[in-house]
Amino acid sequence: MNAETRAVHECREILGNFLRGALDYGEFRAKMASAMGPLDPLDWAMKNLDATTGREAEMVVELLGGPFGETDDRIPRRPEWKYGECDEPYGWVDQDEVRRRLREAFGAVLGKAEG
């Protein structure tokens, strides 16, 4: 198994831990950033992934804000959050909604990985 495929498998494990509540969003982002190293730059990494695993890698990158933050607006915000009133890392992120979206996007893949 090549490094890029291993990275996608590690991301699956981290996603599963986040969805089960074993990680908060800050821990999730830190672990994902570390695991995704072999997928950077994504266009180069895609050459070493099959179509299904490659699409999974693209989805993870997109749901986490994109390679350059261009899809950062897709990360759901907590409506009650106000700038300067919360010093919690990622306090602006609606973690429940992130989990819901990730579960919807990756539920089938994670089910296969755990089953």
Residue 112, pLDDT score = 55
β-bridge partners, 93: 77
61 — pLDDT class (breaks 50, 70, 90): confident
pLDDT, tens digit (0-9, with 9 covering 90-100), for 86-97: 888 899 999 999
Report the percent of the chain where pLDDT is more than 90.
Answer: 63
CA dist list (Å): 15 to 23, 24, 40, 66: 9, 11, 18, 16
115 — pLDDT class (breaks 50, 70, 90): very low
Residue 30, pLDDT score = 94
114 — pLDDT class (breaks 50, 70, 90): very low
Mean pLDDT of 101-110: 81
- Calculate helix-pair angle for 3-19, 95-114, nearest 10 degrees: 120
Look at the block and give the residue holding tokens 């999974």. 56
pLDDT, tens digit (0-9, with 9 covering 90-100), for 31-57: 999 999 999 999 999 999 999 999 999
Q: What is the mean pLDDT of the chain?
A: 89
User: What's phi and psi for 77, nearest 5 deg?
Assistant: -95, 150
DSSP-derived 3-state class of residue 93: strand
